[in-house]
């Protein structure tokens, strides 16, 4: 039995005192799909902009037929900073 996930696919920028990542794969649909793919077939439904790189799609892990690429739009972006006090 397959599972279908509807959610976000995003770029994550995270900065901590230990390092920094820019344009990392983020979003709830991405993380759920990768995790669930170890147990069953996954169908992802999400939207990204035309700036989203193909290597982030992981088509070998889950089905991306429901991933819509919006031409002329940018992918959702999340950022976070951790400051040590």
The string of pLDDT tens digits covering residues 16-71 is: 989 999 999 999 999 999 999 999 999 999 999 999 998 888 888 899 899 999 99
CA distance 59 to 57: 6
The mean pLDDT value for 7-18 works out to 94
Q: Which two tokens stand for residue 32?
A: 């759920």
* Domains detected in the chain: 3-75 (3.40.1190.30)
Give the pLDDT confidence score for residue 83 in this predicted structure: 80
- Beta-carbon contacts of 4 under 8 Å, excluding residues fewer than 6 positions away, are 42, 43, 44, 45, 66
Q: List alpha helices for 1-85, DSSP H.
A: 28-36
Total residues belonging to the chain: 85
pLDDT at 75 over 80: yes
Query: What pLDDT was estimated at residue 59?
Result: 84
Secondary structure of residue 54 in the 3-state scheme? helix
Location of structure tokens 């690429």: 69
Q: Which sign does the torsion angle of CA 49, 55, 61, 63 carry?
A: positive
Q: What is the pTM of this model?
A: 0.81
The pLDDT score that the predictor gives to residue 1 is 86
């Amino acid at each position: 039995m397959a599972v279908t996930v509807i959610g976000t696919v995003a770029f994550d920028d995270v900065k901590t005192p230990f390092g920094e990542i820019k344009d990392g794969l983020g979003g709830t649909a991405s993380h759920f799909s990768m995790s669930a793919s170890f147990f069953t077939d996954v169908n992802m439904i999400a939207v990204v902009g035309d700036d989203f790189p193909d290597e982030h799609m992981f088509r070998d892990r889950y089905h991306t037929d429901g991933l819509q690429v919006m031409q002329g739009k940018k992918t959702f972006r999340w950022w976070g900073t951790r400051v040590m006090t």
